[in-house]
Amino acid sequence: GQNIDQPTEMTATEGAIVQINCTYQTSGFNGLFWYQQHAGEAPTFLSYNVLDGLEEKGRFSSFLSRSKGYSYLLLKELQMKDSASYLCAVPPSTDSWGKLQFGAGTQVVVTP
């Protein structure tokens, strides 16, 4: 079975840091994706982690611990345009490539 959990909503002020956690259960791990989705728009790719550790891309970083079934997306120096839903996604098993299972998404609200 497949289970992906993320918080429903997080609020932070402009310039702050927010960490969005994602826990997952799969019958074989084949990487974890993070996507950003603004309201009414298509999701856009942010990061892909397949090895343990932290990967940094500018203001956004993503961390993975395969042994704990855990990832987080770290958003630094928050800007108003970062207000969006952030989706965690994994393939359900190692032989189910492409069949991404998405979490329900975490709505991040950035306030002035």
> Any contact of residue 33 with other proteins (CB under 8 A)?
yes
CB nearer to other proteins: give 53 or 98: 98
* 84 interacts with other proteins by CB under 8 A: no
Which member of 7, 12, 19, 31 binds other proteins (CB under 8 A)? 31
Task: Specify the DSSP element, H or E, that contains 111.
Answer: strand 106-111
| Nearer CB in complex with other proteins: 16/89 | 89
Helices (H) and strands (E) in the chain, counts: 0, 11
Q: Is residue 70 at the binding interface for other proteins, with CB under 8 A as the rule?
A: no
Q: Which of 21, 23, 61, 96 binds other proteins (CB under 8 A)?
A: 96
Both tokens of 3, joined, read: 């289970």
Give phi and psi for 33, each to the nearest 5. -110, 150
What sign does the CA torsion over 7, 41, 11, 15 have?
Answer: positive
Contact call for residue 12 and other proteins (CB under 8 A): no
